[in-house]
Amino acid sequence: MRELIALLSGLIFGLGLIVGGMTDPGKVKGFLDVAGLWDPSLALVMGGAIAVGVFAFAAARRRSTAWSGDRIDIPSNTTIDGRLIGGGLLFGTGWGIGGFCPGPALVAMSSGLGSAAIFVVAMLVGMALHDRFLAPR
């Protein structure tokens, strides 16, 4: 059952990314181009995701297990430190340059988009470097 829930969740998430235009790096870059031909449509996608997330997290806080039976573990750390700020800056820079964030990059790569594959490889290398040199021990 856990695998079926994961498969359906992934398919719905991927479809939502495609419908929302998040797999098109041009659309993402248009959203980030506030001084040029700004495309505000991604703000609606993000706003919708935040609205769903608010209710989902509120429901998750009232439960101890997910539908799959796995334990729900919501992080309690609310500290804003240099690692969080640096990670956010690095993430935002990669998003702005590549026009992808991790989920949409995986969906776009699966459709054969070469630039998404390059992004995913760079992302995986960055994750491996982080785990090797920066992960807390």
| pLDDT tens, residue by residue, 108-131 | 998 888 999 999 999 999 899 989
Amino acid at site 114:
G
Q: How large is the average pLDDT for residues 47-69?
A: 90
| pLDDT tens, residue by residue, 9-29 | 889 988 988 888 888 888 888
Domain count, the chain: 1
Please state, in angstroms and rounded to a whole number, the distance separating the CA atoms of residues 53 and 60.
Answer: 10
- 74 pLDDT more than 90: no
Please state, in angstroms and rounded to a whole number, the distance separating the CA atoms of residues 100 and 108.
Answer: 9
Residue 101 lies in domain: 2-134
pLDDT confidence of residue 68: 81
pLDDT confidence of residue 27: 86
Q: Is the dihedral of CA 21, 31, 109, 66 positive or negative?
A: negative
pLDDT confidence of residue 82: 92
